[in-house]
Amino acid sequence: MSERSVIHSTIVLERSYDASPARVFAAWSDPAALQRWGSPGEGWESSIDRFEFQVGGIALSRFGPKGGESYVNETRYLDIVRDQRIVSAGGMTSGGKRLFVGLLTVEFSPEGTGCRLVMTEQGAFLDGHDQPENHQAGWSQMLDNLRVECA
């Protein structure tokens, strides 16, 4: 048997945006918007190959540093409440190896004229291929990108 391990981790990130919950929600439900802000690294390339924004629908994307290792993310929407909540679950592979599986909850609520966003990623990092610190940094970068997208 090969060496197997799982590290479970919960990452919570919060942001306040100067845009309505509907506007911020739209940045997650529109694939063109998502592709603009949803890249975790400066200069990374990404493509969205499938995008079915409905409960039970699949979103499939590829991303990675230019000329470097490429990651495939496949996620399935489990719960959608318009302008309020998106929950999805899926996994990330690279070169056929499964690195990560996780459940992602994004909550949107009004805050003055803006939006409070709370993102919770409950992850299982598989066989030492990936670390929670990478996700913490990647999501932090993306939620900052999202501020520009919603400006």
Using the rule CB under 8 A, is 129 a contact of a second copy? no
What amino acid occupies position 57? G
- Please report how close the Cβ of residue 45 comes to a second copy at its closest, in angstroms: 25
- 8 Å CB contact between 61 and 45: no
- Please report how close the Cβ of residue 84 comes to a second copy at its closest, in angstroms: 5
Cα distances from 149 to residues 21, 28, 30, in angstroms, run 13, 11, 12
- Please report how close the Cβ of residue 76 comes to a second copy at its closest, in angstroms: 6
> Among residues 83, 114, 89, which one has the least CA distance to residue 18?
114
- 8 Å CB contact between 140 and 31: no
Using the rule CB under 8 A, is 116 a contact of a second copy? no
- 8 Å CB contact between 132 and 9: yes
Using the rule CB under 8 A, is 85 a contact of a second copy? yes
> Contact region for a second copy (CB under 8 A) — 40-48, 59-67, 95-103, 128-136?
95-103
Using the rule CB under 8 A, is 70 a contact of a second copy? no
Q: How many CA atoms lie within 13 A of 68 on its CB side?
A: 10
Using the rule CB under 8 A, is 4 a contact of a second copy? yes
Instruction: List residues binding a second copy (CB under 8 A).
Output: 1, 4, 6, 8, 10, 76, 78-79, 81, 83-85, 87, 89-91, 98, 101-103, 105, 107, 120, 122-124, 126
